Amino acid sequence: MSRKPKKGYFVRGQFVAEGSQLDLELKAELKGTSEASKTELKRESTELQKIGEALLTLRADLMEGLALSEKLQDAISAARRITNFEGKRRQMQLIGKLMRGLDEETLQAVRDALEVQQKGSASEALSLHQAEQWRDRLVAEEGALEIWLREHPHTDTQQLRALIRQARKDIVPDAAAGVAVRQGRAYREIFQLVREHLSGTHAGDSASEQPRGTHEH
């Protein structure tokens, strides 16, 4: 008659029989772990998982400055290519596991890089919003041009005035869309000109030397 196999489990490749001395020691060790410690470990694991997911969207120039292992870099590259949901989930688990192997200095560098990218994105969104507001104001309000020129004296006044005049002529009510209107090319060019000045990328007084309707990008 064959012997009944012992009940137990494996820990780091070693079989631990239930009720054995080692089993009792391991259970006592686990029991000594406070709930606060378990919660902290879980929170840390969740954070690393989120950081790993954010790394998939990190710009190449910021990624190059990080001292990530080749294995982690390969895992991130692979995750970007995977489109299957389950495959992506498994790959993210691997990235999370590899993230746990980073030292604190490298991990902080990753956080800093992600913050730099996030602040840049927020700044870009604000710049676009301000440019949209100024464009609409310049087209809609008679006194807006004077206010703009006081704040941005290097603007090509003649060019901007002509664009505003043309934009007002181009406004065509869109009956199918109710209150919406269709805008012409001048409307888009005002936005581009305004955005360049707000972002500080405009060529200043040299703008008057450019052909009308063209801008540096």
Confidence bin at 203 (pLDDT 50/70/90) = low
Q: What is the DSSP string of 64-101?
A: HTS---HHHHHHHHHHHH---HHHHHHHHHHHHHHHTT
Instruction: Measure the CA–CA gap between 146 and 144, rounded to whole angstroms.
Output: 6
pLDDT of residue 149: 92
Please tell me which residue, 190 or 123, carries the higher pLDDT value. 190
Does a structural domain hold residue 54?
Answer: yes
Q: In sequence order, which residues have a C-beta less than 8 Å from that of residue 126 and are 6 or more positions away?
A: none
**Bridge partners, 10 (sequence order):** 15
Q: What is the pLDDT of residues 24-37, one digit of tens each?
A: 777 766 665 555 56
Task: Indicate if 80 and 138 belong to the same structural domain.
Answer: no
Is residue 217 situated within a structural domain? no
Find out whether 128 and 89 touch, Cβ atoms under 8 Å: no
Q: Is the distance from CB of 127 to CB of 143 less than 8 angstroms?
A: no
Q: Does residue 4 lie in a domain region?
A: no
Domain count, the chain: 2
CATH code where residue 39 lies: 1.10.60.30
Among the residue ranges 24-28, 48-52, 73-77, 80-84, the one predicted with the least confidence is: 24-28
The pLDDT of residue 148 is 94
Range of the domain at 130: 123-209
Helix (H) or strand (E) holding 51: helix 35-55
Average predicted confidence (pLDDT) for the chain: 77
The reply to whether 43 and 77 lie within a common domain is yes
What pLDDT does 122 receive? Answer: 72
Predicted pLDDT of residue 161: 93
If phi over 0 gives left and psi between -120 and 50 gives alpha, with beta otherwise, what is residue 216?
A: beta
Name the most confidently modeled range: 53-57, 71-75, 94-98, 159-163: 159-163
